[in-house]
Structure 1
Amino acid sequence: MARYPTNGLTLAQANTIATAALAKGRALKLLPLTVVVLDAGGQMKAMQREDGCSLLRLEIAQGKAFGALSLGLGGRELARRSQAMPGFVNALSDLAAAKGMGAVPVQGGVLAVDAAGVILGAVGISGDVSAQDEVAAIAGIEAAGLQPDTGDPA
């Protein structure tokens, strides 16, 4: 009998990412955060929303993760491209909307990469300013033993 692959982002890793990201947010005294962890296929693997989050934080966090995952680029690079090529990013957003998703091209969408450089998923966080959301995402990804890719050139 055929089986689906099980060598991608694990549920344990996804839960570690979300929990550690929220812990980082509390340590930094950030505003309440929503964390979304998507696997490489764009499916939600974990989500946690702190008490006191404002409306649409889930959709924004998911859009940050989905945007990064869609092009294999961290949120910082997506933000740069949205400035340089707004038509392209608008088309990406339209395509994401056709799939029932959003694409939010700003900091806070971070790819989760294994030691071999394979993208296992993406993390999106929303609640504070995007730069702080990204700090929490990085902490979560590193806590799971993975490497964050923010979209900054190496």
Structure 2
Amino acid sequence: MSISLTKALEIVDAALAKGREMAFEPLTVAVLDAGGHLVALKREDRSGILRPDVAIGKAWGALGMGFGSRELGERAVKVPHFMNALMAASGGRFVPVAGGVLILSGGDVIGAVGISGDTSDNDEICCLAGIAAAGYVGQTGFRPPQ
């Protein structure tokens, strides 16, 4: 199963609404399906021209590694040589900072949302709000298999 356009748009709109409610800087929100393909993207007025690439990179990295981009950022500090290898292997397609969250349905990954525009922590708050509003669960960090 993968995320539908209807649900992706719900996530985007709810994430943007959360950003406005909290008076965050202008945001760009991207939702990718489980295969890493862009399903929906919105960029608010005054959100920078690189923000779509950053938002997609956060979501793409989460999908590629199977955990949220916050965890990728933490691992980048601990094992920078591995992160450099991942950057090379991916052609620089992912951004290892908070703000990329996996979308789970029934325990299965169905996509990811990435947000860029404010601090990474605030971007992640909006990711989680959007995912919850669409009735899904967001995964921000690594969870070892049980």
Give the structure-1-normalised TM-score.
0.89
Report the aligned-residue RMSD: 1.3
Task: Say whether 1:128 aligns with 2:122.
Answer: no
Runs in 1 of length 4+ with deviation above 2 angstroms?
none
SS, match of residue 151 in structure 1: coil
- Pairing partner for 2:98 from 87, 92, 107: 107
Residue ranges of structure 1 left out of the alignment (5+ in a row)? 1-6
Give the structure-2-normalised TM-score.
0.94
SS, match of residue 9 in structure 1: coil
2:53 is matched with which residue? 59
Residue ranges of structure 2 left out of the alignment (5+ in a row)? none
**1:43-90 deviations in whole A, cap 9, x for unaligned?**
000000000011210111011001111010111211111111111111
Q: Distance in 2 between matches of 1:84 and 1:35?
A: 28
SS, match of residue 60 in structure 1: helix
- Pairing partner for 1:38 from 28, 32, 55: 32
2:3 is matched with which residue? 9
Q: Distance in 1 between matches of 2:80 and 2:107?
A: 28
Asked whether the 8 Å contact 1:76–1:152 carries over to 2, the reply is no
Asked whether the 8 Å contact 2:102–2:139 carries over to 1, the reply is yes
Q: Distance in 1 between matches of 2:115 and 2:131?
A: 12
Q: Distance in 2 between matches of 1:19 and 1:51?
A: 14
- Pairing partner for 2:78 from 76, 84, 92: 84
Q: Distance in 2 between matches of 1:132 and 1:33?
A: 10
**1:25-51 deviations in whole A, cap 9, x for unaligned?**
000000000000000000000000000
- Pairing partner for 2:128 from 126, 138, 143: 138
Larger radius of gyration: 1
Residues paired across the two proteins, number: 144
Asked whether the 8 Å contact 1:38–1:66 carries over to 2, the reply is yes
